[in-house]
Amino acid sequence: MKIKVALGQFNIQFAQPAANRARVRELVATAAAGNADVVVLPEMWNTGYALDALPQLADEDGRTTLALLQELARQYHIGIVGGSVAVKTGDHFVNRTLVVDPLGNLLGQYDKVHLFGLMAEDRYLVAGDQENYFRLAGVPSASFICYDLRFPEWIRTVARHGADVLYFPAEWPAVRIPQWKLLLQVRAVENQCFVVAVNRVGDDPDNHFNGHSLAIDPLGRVLVDAGEHDGVTFAELDLAQLATVRGPIPVFADRRPELYR
Ligand SMILES: O=C(O)CCC(=O)C(=O)O
């Protein structure tokens, strides 16, 4: 079985949720026109890192985002890994992913588990503590957010349920893109999974972002690198490859969890 994924890398407009929603409409339409099964968006795409403005701009319980993603999923019959958005829930804010299937059903929701102090997330956001494991386009999958990538123990905790594709929405600054690529390739190899990671391009007041959204196969080979393209890049994932990689080297079966503390 093969699935086609669309990497929706774009220049998030700082503190302009309406403009970003309009751009997401265009990206999903483009992904669908290219016959993608799944489209993936970057991290914090509604507001960017306008953390001071969260009281005015964060999406109340994610309602506006969910309604948009559901509408687009149904209209275009496409699965959406909705990047992440700034959400107000109760009296606090979270960095939240919403995943919907082509019928508009909410398959999963994930609040970023590891908050990134260098971008002040720990001062504005509350961390999540739940896994996001779901079946999208017929494929067992899991999603994480950006800095979570640096925590292999967390990725493995979720991946061991049997995920075949790991999704990573991100806003990963250009200055650390060499580490981004390396870490994503390693996560693919060590978990014997496909990795689909979507970053942004453009600038915010503190950082420059140069994209390089990636689709990577379970051997760590880059299938697609979006470079600095502002728009959709497509990748095809051949799931049959998983058996050929996992068969001779069954790392999940060979684990010694009793030794891991
Ligand atoms: O870990 C990094 O270098 C980047 C992380 C990041 O930008 C984020 O989590 O938003």
Helices (H) and strands (E) in the chain, counts: 7, 16
Nearest CA to ligand 1 atom 3: 176
Helix boundaries (H) for the chain: 17-33, 54-57, 63-76, 121-124, 152-159, 177-191, 240-246
Among 98, 48, 110, residue whose Cα is nearest residue 73: 98
Number of Cβ atoms within 10 Å of the Cβ of 101: 21
Q: What is the dihedral of CA 109, 110, 111, 114, to 10 degrees?
A: 180
Whether the complex's predicted ipTM is more than 0.90 is answered with yes
Average pLDDT per 10 consecutive residues for the chain, totaling 261 residues? 98 98 98 98 98 98 98 98 98 98 98 97 98 98 98 96 97 98 98 98 97 98 98 98 98 95 83
- pTM of the model as a whole: 0.98
Indicate if ligand 1 lies below 6 Å from the C-beta of 176. Answer: yes
Instruction: Output the domain CATH number for residue 94.
Output: 3.60.110.10
Q: Which domain holds residue 176?
A: 2-259
- Span from the CA of 243 to the centroid of ligand 1 (angstroms): 32
